[in-house]
Structure 1
Amino acid sequence: MDAIFKALNDPTRRALLDSLRQKDGQSLQELEETAEMTRFGVMKHLKLLEEAGLVVSVKKGRFKYHYLNAVPLQEVIDRWIDPFLAKPAARGVLNLKAQLEGTAPMTTPDAKPDFVSQTFIRCTRDALWSALTEADQVGQYHFLAETAHGDMIAKGDGMVFEMQPGVPMVRTEVIAIDPKSRIEATFEPSWAGPDMAPSRCIYLVDDEGAFCKLTIEHYGIPEGQEGIADGWARFASGLKTWLESGETVRFAHAGEN
């Protein structure tokens, strides 16, 4: 965590994070225009933020976009702040949408995600893949979904995440899948009512020896659903804890059960 505190111990870097919080997925040129410093200076600060895991960059076509990664900050909160506020409880967020009427087009290679999150988990690729695709594991780590049913093994498969049995929170359907490496799925939320607009997300799994890298990309987030970013951070924290320790911890907001 030393790299996180070092990265935050500079007003310019904190300003860059604030800028990404207000508008995620900015290019270097966009960040340079708001930073009042040279391009080289912005690149230097971004490098430190990326090394600390606070910023994730994604290259699409000729452009490189930068995203605020909330997972490391959430881990700091989980370790030192949340224990003084409330015990972790069930809270939830997202997953994905049904078929968008007919055959939904896959995300194009140059499409820019609205949100990107990345975390490293000390586990095998098989264990991470099973946790993402098997419904019976979801209740062990998801911050809101107590139960789930269905699976995400092949194209056309779907899963329903439930806040409690019979109360759906998110429905998903697999659009494309590369076993143990990539899942692209629809994201149909319903926690605030049946008329919430759908979007789609991608899980990317990379085996890096003693641990795995999980990258989550979310595309087409509708206006009014920006809070999804916070939910992904809690999702990733619970998943990491479950896979590394076998402990069920749901990182919910205080007062949510």
Structure 2
Amino acid sequence: MDAIFKALNDPARRALLDSLRDRDGQSLSELETQLDMTRFGVMKHLRVLEDASLVVTRKSGRFKYHYLNAVPLQEVIDRWIEPLLAKPAARAVIDLKTQLEGPSSMTDKPDFVMKTFIRCTQDALWEALTDPAQMGTWHFLAGGVRKEDDTYIYETPDGGTMMRARTLETDPKSRIVSTFEPNWEGGGAPSRTIFLLASEGDHCALTVEHYDLSVPVVPGEGVHDGWARWAAGLKTYLESGAAHRFNSMAGAGA
């Protein structure tokens, strides 16, 4: 947490975060033009933000793209503010119709990136992400999840289809590539997601990359808000064993 306050205690670093909030996924060259300092100076500030996990990066070809990661800030809010507002069982971090039959390309740039850390084993994280029974327990919005062949079908509470996710590629316990096919109004066109899992001793790092989005990524809304609630449910489930749906429409006991 000290690293977070250190990172925020500089106007240049706050300006970089503001820029990424307005337009995520910028390269060093793009960010460099916005500050009155050398390229090396901007790199040093970005390194501090990365060390605090406030910025995560994704390399594509010769370029490295930077993304705002809201998880550490949410943890700070949860520590001092959330207990004054509510007492959930656990509060954690801030979830193609076109055919994608061939191997996914790792040279394109994701539209959204989120990284979080969960106190669990890599096996447990993999199971929570691939077992439909578990997924239906912790998912913030789905009433249940079932699997048909290589496709996960997320159901609404009344039994309708909320979305589909067809598995395109897997590297057991470390990587999942799947479609993201929303069936709700305003969900946008089908897109693609990649989950990257890595063990770090007594906890795991989980990175979510979302590609080919047809809707804008606005902090605190839509895609951004959905993934934050998705991650909160997953983290709570794995760390406490208790299922809590972080759905804004659900009651405290949901």
Q: What secondary structure is seen at the aligned counterpart in 1 of 2:140?
A: coil
Matched, 1:48 2:40: no
Q: What secondary structure is seen at the aligned counterpart in 1 of 2:242?
A: coil
What is residue 234 of structure 1 aligned with on the other side? 229
In structure 1, runs of 5+ residues without a counterpart are none
What is residue 211 of structure 2 aligned with on the other side? 219
C-alpha distance in structure 2 between counterparts of 1:64 and 1:116, whole Å = 13
What is residue 20 of structure 1 aligned with on the other side? 20
Deviations 1:199-236 (A, max 9, x none): 00000111222221111111011134652122212211
Which deviates the most, 36-45 or 3-12? 3-12
Task: Say if 1:230 and 1:25 are closer, same or farther in 2 by CA, change over 3 A.
Answer: same
Residues 1-257 of structure 1: pairs in structure 2 closer than 5 A = 1-85=1-85, 94=95, 97-98=96-97, 100-101=98-99, 103-150=100-147, 157-192=150-185, 196-224=188-216, 226=218, 227-253=222-248, 255-256=249-250
RCO greater where, 1 or 2, for CA within 8 Å and sep 6 or more? Answer: 1
Q: What secondary structure is seen at the aligned counterpart in 1 of 2:137?
A: coil
Instruction: Tell me, yes or no, if the aligned pair for 1:149 and 1:161 is still in contact at 8 Å.
Output: yes
C-alpha distance in structure 2 between counterparts of 1:178 and 1:215, whole Å = 14
Q: What is the TM-score when the length of structure 1 is the normalising length?
A: 0.85
Q: What secondary structure is seen at the aligned counterpart in 1 of 2:138?
A: coil
When the two chains are superposed, the root-mean-square deviation of aligned CA atoms in Å is 2.3
C-alpha distance in structure 1 between counterparts of 2:111 and 2:223, whole Å = 11
Deviations 1:150-178 (A, max 9, x none): 17xxxx61112234141332210001111
C-alpha distance in structure 2 between counterparts of 1:222 and 1:82, whole Å = 33
Task: Say if 1:77 and 1:256 are closer, same or farther in 2 by CA, change over 3 A.
Answer: farther
C-alpha distance in structure 1 between counterparts of 2:53 and 2:85, whole Å = 25
Structure 1 residue 62 displacement after superposition: 0.7
Number of matched residues?
A: 243
Which deviates the most, 221-230 or 112-121? 221-230
C-alpha distance in structure 1 between counterparts of 2:84 and 2:157, whole Å = 27
Structure 1 residue 180 displacement after superposition: 1.0
Q: What secondary structure is seen at the aligned counterpart in 2 of 1:239?
A: helix
C-alpha distance in structure 2 between counterparts of 1:207 and 1:21, whole Å = 29
Task: Say if 1:39 and 1:202 are closer, same or farther in 2 by CA, change over 3 A.
Answer: same
Structure 1 residue 7 displacement after superposition: 1.6
Task: Say if 1:225 and 1:45 are closer, same or farther in 2 by CA, change over 3 A.
Answer: closer
Q: What secondary structure is seen at the aligned counterpart in 2 of 1:171?
A: strand
Aligned-residue identity in percent: 59
C-alpha distance in structure 2 between counterparts of 1:127 and 1:146, whole Å = 22
In structure 2, runs of 5+ residues without a counterpart are 90-94
C-alpha distance in structure 1 between counterparts of 2:217 and 2:157, whole Å = 22
Q: What secondary structure is seen at the aligned counterpart in 2 of 1:41?
A: helix
Structure 1 residue 86 displacement after superposition: 5.2
